[in-house]
Amino acid sequence: MHLPISAGAAHSARQTAMAYRTPKDLAGSMSRHRKATAADDGYVRETFTLPREEARARARVWLDRWPAAAYMSQVEGWRELPDGEIEFTMRRLRSAD
């Protein structure tokens, strides 16, 4: 059985598809959404951009200060930037404050 799509539904889908002009627009929207929803999950996050050895040292200090067993601390994510620096995000439970 073939059901017709209403003009309103077709317009809505076309409008949604056109809302993001570039991949950067989409990435920005996703980032804002992620930040807004992550704000209430009970974790404190801190993002660093450091040379590799300094990044390792900073992560170690973080984990020594807020042990994973007590605060569920961890490196949430990381990436190597084109200049060789490491960008990483640490997280821990807010109850440590």
What is the greatest pairwise CA distance in the chain? Answer: 63
pLDDT for the residue numbered 80: 94
The string of pLDDT tens digits covering residues 28-39 is 888 787 777 656
What is the pLDDT of the chain when averaged over all its residues? 81
Q: Which residues fall within 8 angstroms of residue 77, CB to CB, at 6 or more apart?
A: 88, 89
The string of pLDDT tens digits covering residues 61-75 is 999 999 999 999 999
Q: Which residues fall within 8 angstroms of residue 17, CB to CB, at 6 or more apart?
A: none
76 class by beta-carbon count within 10 Å (0-12 exposed, 13-18 middle, 19+ buried): middle
